């Protein structure tokens, strides 16, 4: 099978995010960059499919030069090769531009199934998977927690509010992954050594050949609204504290 996994490089979940004084974005200086956690589920699922059914896993990533490290991480986990779409023209890409860039490359590669994360934890947008599916004219299965491969189709579980859906789709298809799908593996030391020799094709915007103007643009980045300082509830006994808390929730916060 020909399996594609899309990965994005994002700040580590622990990263402190500081907004630039002019509101034009965030300070990138101190940030440690990692693979988007939801993309780890996609890479893991891709590798599991390959191990069971044979085939080949290709990593596709849009990102600046530093994102090569994340592609290497995926290769060290066991993927076979990578495509790195790298050009300053993509620095301000929105989900639509990113999805079109990914689609332009994926169209040139054989593909039976394409994995994305359900969302990237930097922009938190959760759009690229669906937009990619549309650009490729393929069905999409989003927020998947279980996947069974059955030759020319897949069967997945998708939790929705208050229920779980079981859905079957003909391949090729785009699948977006969330926690629960699998336990992503760590790269082994031999894996890391091997990854250095695996091929990564670097493409600039001209080679991708799509329009790069964003349709939705973050005009201004601001710190989160400040929360008023909280109250610590005093009292000698748990019962006293509970009574005071109940009263405040009722009378002050009007929350119960």
Partner 1 sequence: MAKGVMIVAEQRDGALRKISFELASTARKLADQSGDEVSAILLGAGIEGLAAELGKYGVDKVFVGDNAALEPYVTEAHAAVTAQIVKDNDPAIVLFGASVQGKDLSGRVAAKLAGGLATDCTDVKLDGGNLVAIRPMYAGKCFGEVVFNSAPAMASLRPNVFPAAENAKAGAVTKVDVAVDAPKSKVLEVQKDTSGKVDLTEANVIVSGGRGMKGPEGYAILEELADVLKGTVGASRAAVDAGWRPQKDQVGQTGKVVSPNLYIACGISGAIQHLAGMSSSKCIVAINKDAEAPIFTKADYGVVDDLFKVVPELTAVCKKLVA
Ligand X SMILES: Nc1ncnc2c1ncn2[C@@H]1O[C@H](COP(=O)(O)O)[C@@H](O)[C@H]1O
Binding residues for ligand FAD, rule: CB under 6 A, are 13, 37
Q: How far is the CB of 239 from ligand FAD (least distance, A)?
A: 15
Those residues with Cβ within 8 angstroms of residue 2's Cβ, 6 or more apart along the chain or in another chain: 55, 56, 58, 109, 110, 111, 112
Placement of tokens 């994305």 in the chain: 116
203 lines the binding site for ligand X (CB under 6 A)? no
Site for ligand X, residues 86 to 105, rule: CB under 6 A: 95, 98, 102
Q: Nearest distance from residue 129's CB to ligand FAD, in Å? A: 19
**How many residues contact ligand X, by CB under 6 A?**
23
Nearest to 48 by CA among 167, 177, 169: 177
Helix/strand/coil for 166: strand
Smallest gap from Cβ 117 to ligand X, in A, equals 2
237: left (phi over 0), alpha (psi -120 to 50) or beta: beta
Place of tokens 């050009």: 87
Task: List CB contacts of 8: < 8 A, sequence separation 6 or more.
Answer: 35, 36, 39, 61, 62, 63, 67, 70, 117, 120, 122
- Angstrom CA distances, 174 to 134, 143, 156, 241, stand at 9, 11, 12, 52
223 binds, among partner 1, ligand X, ligand FAD, none (CB under 5 to 8 A by kind): partner 1
Cβ closest to ligand FAD, residue 23 vs residue 235 = 235
In the shown chain, the binding pattern of residues 116 to 145 toward ligand X, with x for contact by CB under 6 A and - for none, equals xx-xx--x-xxxxx----------------
Mapped onto helix, strand or coil, the DSSP state of residue 59 is strand
CB of 63 to partner 1, least distance (A): 16
- For residues 10 and 49, which CB has a smaller minimum distance to partner 1 in the complex? 10
* Closer by beta carbon to ligand X, 36 or else 100: 36
Least Å distance, CB 41 to ligand X, is 9
Site for ligand X in 25-54 (CB under 6 A): 36, 38-39, 42
Quick check: helix, strand or coil at residue 127? coil
**Using an 8 Å Cβ cutoff, are 211 and 218 in contact?**
no
23 versus 246: smaller Cβ distance to ligand FAD: 246
**Residues contributing to the site for ligand X (CB under 6 A):** 6-8, 36, 38-39, 42, 61-63, 95, 98, 102, 116-117, 119-120, 123, 125-129
């Amino acid at each position: 099978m020909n399996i594609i996994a899309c990965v994005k490089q994002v700040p580590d979940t622990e990263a402190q995010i500081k907004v630039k004084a002019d509101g034009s974005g965030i300070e990138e200086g101190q940030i440690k960059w990692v693979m988007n956690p939801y993309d780890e589920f996609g890479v893991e699922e891709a590798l599991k499919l390959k191990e069971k059914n044979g085939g080949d896993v290709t990593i596709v990533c849009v990102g600046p030069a530093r994102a090569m490290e994340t592609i290497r991480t995926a290769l060290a986990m066991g993927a076979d090769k990578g495509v790195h779409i790298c050009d300053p023209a993509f620095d301000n890409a929105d989900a639509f531009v990113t999805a079109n860039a990914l689609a332009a490359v994926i169209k040139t590669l054989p593909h039976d199934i394409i994995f994305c994360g359900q969302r990237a934890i930097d922009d938190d947008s959760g759009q690229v998977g669906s937009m990619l599916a549309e650009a490729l004219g393929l069905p999409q299965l989003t927020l998947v927690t279980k996947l069974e491969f059955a030759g020319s189709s897949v069967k997945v579980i998708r939790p929705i509010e208050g229920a779980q859906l079981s859905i079957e789709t003909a391949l090729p298809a785009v699948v977006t992954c969330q926690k629960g799908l699998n336990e992503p593996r760590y790269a082994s030391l031999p894996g890391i050594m091997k990854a250095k020799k695996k091929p990564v094709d670097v493409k600039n915007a001209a080679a991708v050949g799509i329009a790069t103007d964003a349709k939705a643009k973050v005009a201004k980045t601001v710190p989160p609204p400040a929360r008023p300082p909280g109250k610590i509830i005093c009292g000698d006994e748990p019962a006293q504290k509970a009574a005071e808390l109940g009263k405040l929730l009722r009378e002050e916060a009007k929350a119960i």
